[in-house]
Amino acid sequence: MKGYLEIFKGSPIEDNLIYSDNNLIVDGAGAHVADILANNNSSSIAGAPTSGISDFGIKAMTLASPKGHLNYNSYNVRSDSGPSSIQSIISHPEDTTVQPASESGPGNKGHFLNYYNFSGLYPALTVDEIHEHGCYLPSGGITFDGSTFGYTHPGNIANDMSGTKTGVLNAASAINSDGFILESTLARSSQTLYDASAGFIVSAIGDVSSTRQVKYILTISYEDWKFLDYYYGGIGAIGLWTLDREATLVKYGDELQTANIDLYNVADISKNPVFRLFSKKTFLPGGLKIDTGTGTHTDYLTISWSIKF
């Protein structure tokens, strides 16, 4: 099993390619294959968990910071606290998180969380703690002053991130509070690249039975990228995740099969699915960049991740 990652600034055409490299398939991928081989759709054991083909395959993506310190600075409406990051470390096959999980803050699970959009569901956290756990622009938007993002108004170029900015992923309900970006809810036969900002899409390359290759494609809007880049350390590591079926079923004591579980019920944080890391890639410090020196932006990042079985 091999993985190959390509990053484009804009649409996924050769002229827009800004990064390409192999990724690391971690031990969780082997565990997932074992689950597939051991899958029994009609267990004869009373009370035994059952599963179907929908349990298997890539179920989520996550993004994480590339930088090398733990002193993050989240966005705060009272002050522009500036760039931040979570710790980065060399990848190993035994990894179970994209980055080492920190005790608190945006790297609490080893990747960017999404507490802004679900702040009302974390009553035990203070406003500052919600900011610390960020990390994606909420569906209701945040209103930024002209001086945010370290902006000093050079020349006649206006701050492209001033005013109210809304998160595309959250507006599409494509990401849960734990920061797991889900597949587009459109049927795969109807998915196109234009849908990839509302959750990742799955694109088979030719005849899967002969090529044994599938692509997972995700679009990151300029606004979502800018917020992560400036306040949370930038996009410098990403992960592919499969469903941890048994751990997920533990949350549903009255269910024996995941077919009865709505993995897209992002509003109930107590029922967030449990995922298992399948593959990861860490970039150099600084992370994935979009040119920010030209004023108003319509650019975006396209992540195209191929897995060949």
> Does 135 sit behind a cis peptide bond, omega within 30 degrees of 0 on the bond before it?
yes
The whole-angstrom separation of Cα 123 and Cα 138 is 17
Share of residues in the chain with pLDDT > 90 (%) = 25
Decide which of 37 and 249 is more confident: 249
Tell me the per-residue pLDDT of 3-39, one tens digit each, with 9 for 90 and over. 888 999 888 888 999 888 887 777 666 665 656 555 5
Using pLDDT thresholds of 50, 70 and 90, give the confidence band for residue 49.
Answer: very low
Within its chain, how far is the Cα of 183 from the centroid? 10
Six-digit token pair at 269? 């944080």
The whole-angstrom separation of Cα 306 and Cα 2 is 8
What's the mean pLDDT in 78-98?
69
The whole-angstrom separation of Cα 106 and Cα 81 is 15
Six-digit token pair at 118? 């679900």
Tell me the per-residue pLDDT of 273-285, one tens digit each, with 9 for 90 and over. 999 999 888 887 6
Query: pTM score, two decimals?
Result: 0.85
Q: Give the model's pLDDT for residue 292.
A: 65
Q: Give the model's pLDDT for residue 71.
A: 47
Tell me the per-residue pLDDT of 160-202, one tens digit each, with 9 for 90 and over. 888 999 999 999 999 999 999 999 888 777 787 777 888 999 8
| 272 pLDDT above the threshold of 70 | yes
Using pLDDT thresholds of 50, 70 and 90, give the confidence band for residue 107.
Answer: confident
The whole-angstrom separation of Cα 229 and Cα 288 is 8
Six-digit token pair at 17? 């390619």
The whole-angstrom separation of Cα 42 and Cα 27 is 27
Lowest-pLDDT choice from 123-132, 177-186, 204-213, 231-240:
204-213
Q: Give the model's pLDDT for residue 140.
A: 93
Element (H, E) at 218: strand 213-221
Burial class (CB in 10 A: 0-12, 13-18, 19+), 71: exposed
DSSP for 8-46 reads EESSSSGGGEEEEEE-EE-HHHHHHHHHHHH--TT--ST
Q: Give the model's pLDDT for residue 145.
A: 84
What's the mean pLDDT in 215-229?
91
Region for 287 from its dihedrals, namely left if φ exceeds 0, alpha if ψ lies in -120 to 50, beta otherwise: left
Beta carbons of 105 and 221 less than 8 angstroms apart: no
Using pLDDT thresholds of 50, 70 and 90, give the confidence band for residue 214.
Answer: confident
Decide which of 50 and 85 is more confident: 85
What are the structural domain ranges in the chain?
2-37+54-272+283-308
Q: Give the model's pLDDT for residue 277.
A: 93
Say if strands 300-308 and 2-9 run parallel, antiparallel, or are unpaired.
antiparallel
Six-digit token pair at 235? 């996009």
What's the mean pLDDT in 214-238?
89
Using pLDDT thresholds of 50, 70 and 90, give the confidence band for residue 45.
Answer: very low
| 53 pLDDT above the threshold of 50 | no
Decide which of 267 and 43 is more confident: 267
What does the chain come to in residues? 309
Q: Give the model's pLDDT for residue 48.
A: 38
| 267 pLDDT above the threshold of 50 | yes
| Burial track 8-24 (b if 16+ CB lie within 10 A, e otherwise) | bbbebeeeeeebeeebb
Q: Give the model's pLDDT for residue 156.
A: 67
Lowest-pLDDT choice from 43-57, 87-101, 128-142, 255-269:
43-57
What's the mean pLDDT in 78-106?
71
